[in-house]
A and B are shown apart, each in its own frame.
Chain A
Amino acid sequence: MRIGRRRFLGGALAGGAGVVALGVLGERLAGGAQAAIAAASQAPATHQWAMVIDLQYCNGCKLCTTACETAHYLHADQTWIDVFKMTNATGESYFMPRPCMMCEDPPCVPVCPVNANFRTAEGLTLVNQSRCIGTRICMNACPYQARYFNWVDPRPAPRQPFPQEPAWPVPQVKGTVGKCMFCAAMLPSGKVPECVASCPMGVLYLGDLETDVAVNGLGTTVKLSAFLADNDAVKFKESYGTHPRVFYILGHGQDLETDTQTG
């Protein structure tokens, strides 16, 4: 058989076009299970979940971390909500809980090669642990270091009220990434996330931007927009363009962007 240059180049071009077409088709199909999960939350969203963290009252007891790790059967170093000790410019220290920021423009989502990360219509960024192949490039992308890998076998968990799914990834899956998911499976039944419920100081509020309400573990209910405005709430690392949905209320002399983490 004689393959001329013209024919070879033509074939190469056609082959290349085929690969691109396959990729575009793949984008369209974008996965069965994933599409189902996304579709479930495609119904006109009645909630837009957010969180408010009032640093003025946090005493660093880390009960939120403990409650989270207990409820989700996590290892001790899988601090999905971590509490950092911070020191401000005048040398005074305070505590800063850090859950997943539930970014409106999450940098972890587009970097995954297999679409294991996705964002629901209610504004929650979730991980599909039955698809994650464990490249950890999302851990690289997250500017808040809010992602935790299952480096070893997860803690065994008893039978759960929900199936293992992105909205309730319990037990965790070895070799996949896990992170705070605002206890997504509990929210529809009117429960607040474990960390919010466990905070004895009422620091953590679960908020809903849609209904403009926020509530903490002590039962305090506030009008979200007014609460944020009155207390000059800030977002963490806004300069990264991630548009977090976690709002911090700072105490006197505190600045998350310049204060130093000391523990």
Chain B
Amino acid sequence: MPEGPAREATSPDLSETTQSEAREHIRRAAMRPVLETPRWWWPAVVVLGAVVVLGVVAWAVQLADGLGVAGYNDQGFWGVYEADLVAFIGVSYGGAVVSAILRLTKATWRAPLTRIAEATALVTLPIGMLFIVPHLGNPQRIWELVWPPYWNLSSPILWDFFAVSTYLLATAVFFYLPLIADLPVAAARLAGRPGVRARCCRLLYRALGGSGQVSVSQRRLIEGSIGLVAIMVIPMAVSVHSVLSFAFASSSRPGYSETIFPVYFVVAALYSGIALVIVVVAGARRLFHLEAFIHPRHFVRLGFLLVAFGAVYLYLTFTEYLIDGYSGTAGLAAWVAQDLTGRYWVPFWFYFVAAGVAPLLVMAVRRTRTATGVVTASGLVVVALWVKRLVIVIPPATEPLVRSPLSAGGVLAGNWGAYHFTWVPISITLAATAAIPLLLLILFRFVPILPIAEMEELESFEEELTEAVEITAAAGQPGVAGPVGRPLIPPASACAPVALPPTAAARPGGLGPPGLGDLSGGGKGWDAAFGWPR
């Protein structure tokens, strides 16, 4: 990209001298995790690191003794690792797709959340991919998957491998592009600081973004690219998780061979992904003191997105079980009975209560439709959807195929259906779970936690807007009227997202038609009607 001094001079947003107090506020908050080490940081890293080490030890034991120590046997050939693989890759979709959806719908309130959401996607996807290592019986031969002479292109596992690798690349790009404009600001903040980490950061920023300012034309190019990648990420996420379901759905096994599986997997991925984003955002808000930027209403809005996917997922579950159970086909009916009333009734109904009904109730009841309510529900959803993945993976794998006694109304005999949890997969799963906050804590030691450029753009836009309102008011008009005759722009809301007057909506590079962003309304409008917390 050409970087002339003339172009640099035309980037008013990022020059250090002309920043308003609000911008300074954003920059300080965004760089605080990089510049300051809170007292809890090292203990947290040590504890999380210890859990990760426990997982590595468990994996070493498994490597030495075989997959048998992980509770597998010939009647339960797939279990926790496969569920983990689906669950962790699933949650990573949420981060990228939430960010992409909010960008594409021009939801102005998204700005403080996008970096955290994209970072969540970036760290959970490699963790999910790593589950292929404990999953394999012979991980030392994993290179065969990237050795074309051995490839079997008709294998769903190979499709998975390609699809997830492609998605990892897309997630990395989607994290990187919005970061470019922040790098000069971050570098300026770090200038002159001593210490190894500060030097590493500076090297990293130079490697990622070059030196100097980002010119206006470059900004426009980056914004265009972000839009393009945001559009690409959505179909990519859908196709990747569909392909992930093919490993199950393309077999003849009752309970796996479901045409609903691709859709089911995609929705589950987005549902659990949004839930994880909510949990991570809540954690980051508390730990890094982002209360000034991330408001309770952010959680409530994400909560609506959460229950939208939750309701679709509940509907798909209902459809699947109803149709398979109603058909009365021996294998299918046996498997449905196992889940609903048989060996797996506890995990199944746990899912139903915790991730099926609870989030809907939390959002439906005004008293619980709060940040606390949404975050609690999201935590439940993350756990319950992991349990649901176990219910998806284990019962069909443990179903006797020769002639199921279940189909005659009997019970499972002998060691059929024998998947047993042991400390090994539990440790590895815990380690992967601990790796998410650990990697995020480390990541935010190096990159700004808030998208500075993006927030500043919205901030300066709001300032212009406020000015416009003042001018309009001074000219003797009562205010910019909304469709029902109430002012669209609330008088005093510095950081809150605002809806747009029709003229501003047409502004080039502006925020377009108000998406979810206009729901905040003003005064007695939407908020009062729905009782949203302010």
Q: Pick the residue among A86, A96, A110, A144 that contacts B155 (CB under 8 A).
A: A110
State whether A31 touches B149 (Cβ < 8 A).
yes
Is A135 positioned at the interface, with any CB of B under 8 Å from its CB? Answer: yes
Given contacts A140-B251, A149-B67, A133 and B137 within 8 Å (CB-CB): yes
Inside 8 A of A173's CB, which chain B residues have their CB?
138
State whether B153 touches A137 (Cβ < 8 A).
no
A86 to B2, CA, bound (A): 78
Contacting A at CB under 8 A, from B246-263, are 247-248, 250-253, 256
Q: Pick the residue among A135, A149, A177, A256 that contacts B157 (CB under 8 A).
A: A135
In this complex, what residue of A is CB-closest to B150? Answer: A114
Is A260 positioned at the interface, with any CB of B under 8 Å from its CB? Answer: yes
Inside 8 A of A145's CB, which chain B residues have their CB?
74, 400-402
Interface residues on B, range: 35 or more
Interface 9-residue window, one of B17-25, B407-415, B513-521: B407-415
In this complex, what residue of A is CB-closest to B72? Answer: A151
Inside 8 A of B152's CB, which chain A residues have their CB?
110, 112-115
State whether A149 touches B74 (Cβ < 8 A).
yes
Is B433 positioned at the interface, with any CB of A under 8 Å from its CB? Answer: no
Interface 9-residue window, one of B39-47, B140-148, B284-292, B378-386: B140-148
Is B151 positioned at the interface, with any CB of A under 8 Å from its CB? Answer: yes
State whether B145 touches A140 (Cβ < 8 A).
no
Inside 8 A of B408's CB, which chain A residues have their CB?
260
Q: Pick the residue among A22, A114, A140, A260 that contacts B256 (CB under 8 A).
A: A140
Is A59 positioned at the interface, with any CB of B under 8 Å from its CB? Answer: no
In the assembled complex, the CB of A139 is this many whole angstroms from the nearest CB of chain B, namely 5
State whether B67 touches A139 (Cβ < 8 A).
no
Residue with the highest number of chain B CB atoms closer than 10 Å, among A77, A131, A140: A140
In the assembled complex, the CB of A22 is this many whole angstroms from the nearest CB of chain B, namely 5
Is B68 positioned at the interface, with any CB of A under 8 Å from its CB? Answer: yes
Interface residues on A, range: 35 or more
Inside 8 A of B397's CB, which chain A residues have their CB?
140
Is B403 positioned at the interface, with any CB of A under 8 Å from its CB? Answer: yes
In the assembled complex, the CB of A30 is this many whole angstroms from the nearest CB of chain B, namely 7
Is B490 positioned at the interface, with any CB of A under 8 Å from its CB? Answer: no
State whether B407 touches A260 (Cβ < 8 A).
yes
State whether B137 touches A136 (Cβ < 8 A).
yes
State whether A261 touches B400 (Cβ < 8 A).
yes
Inside 8 A of B256's CB, which chain A residues have their CB?
140
Given contacts A2-B2, A115-B150, A144 and B402 within 8 Å (CB-CB): yes
Inside 8 A of B141's CB, which chain A residues have their CB?
114, 131-133
Is A200 positioned at the interface, with any CB of B under 8 Å from its CB? Answer: no
Inside 8 A of A261's CB, which chain B residues have their CB?
400, 402-405
State whether A134 touches B138 (Cβ < 8 A).
yes
State whether A23 touches B78 (Cβ < 8 A).
no
Contacting B at CB under 8 A, from A1-52, are 2, 22-23, 25-27, 29-32
* Chain B 314-356 interface 0/1 with A at a Cβ cutoff of 8 Å (1 = within): 0000000000000000000000000000000000000000000
Is A201 positioned at the interface, with any CB of B under 8 Å from its CB? Answer: no
Is B297 positioned at the interface, with any CB of A under 8 Å from its CB? Answer: no
Given contacts A112-B152, A140-B78, A149-B74, A133 and B136 within 8 Å (CB-CB): yes
Is B222 positioned at the interface, with any CB of A under 8 Å from its CB? Answer: no
Given contacts A149-B137, A174-B66, A175-B66, A139 and B148 within 8 Å (CB-CB): no
Main secondary structure of the interface of B (DSSP, over half): loop
State whether A134 touches B136 (Cβ < 8 A).
yes
A176 to B136, CA, bound (A): 9
State whether B401 touches A149 (Cβ < 8 A).
no
A153 to B68, CA, bound (A): 9
In this complex, what residue of B is CB-closest to A19? Answer: B162
Inside 8 A of A150's CB, which chain B residues have their CB?
66, 137
Q: Pick the residue among A111, A149, A176, A258 that contacts B156 (CB under 8 A).
A: A111
Contacting A at CB under 8 A, from B97-155, are 135-139, 141-142, 144-145, 147-155
Inside 8 A of A263's CB, which chain B residues have their CB?
413-414
Is A202 positioned at the interface, with any CB of B under 8 Å from its CB? Answer: no
In this complex, what residue of A is CB-closest to B396? Answer: A140
Is A60 positioned at the interface, with any CB of B under 8 Å from its CB? Answer: no
In the assembled complex, the CB of A71 is this many whole angstroms from the nearest CB of chain B, namely 19
A148 to B77, CA, bound (A): 9
A25 to B402, CA, bound (A): 39
Inside 8 A of B138's CB, which chain A residues have their CB?
132-134, 173, 175-176
Inside 8 A of B147's CB, which chain A residues have their CB?
26, 114
Contacting B at CB under 8 A, from A73-108, are 77-78, 84, 86, 96, 98, 107
Inside 8 A of A262's CB, which chain B residues have their CB?
405, 410, 413
Q: Pick the residue among A26, A144, A177 that contacts B150 (CB under 8 A).
A: A26
In the assembled complex, the CB of A261 is this many whole angstroms from the nearest CB of chain B, namely 4
Could you pull out 10 A-B pairs where Cβ atoms are within 8 angstroms? A27-B153, A31-B149, A86-B403, A114-B155, A133-B141, A134-B137, A137-B251, A143-B401, A151-B68, A175-B137
Residues of B within 8 A of A (CB): 1-2, 65-69, 72-74, 77-78, 135-139, 141-142, 144-145, 147-158, 161, 247-248, 250-253, 256, 397, 400-405, 407-408, 410, 413-415
Across the A-B interface, the 3 shortest Cβ-Cβ residue pairs: A134-B137, A26-B148, A175-B137
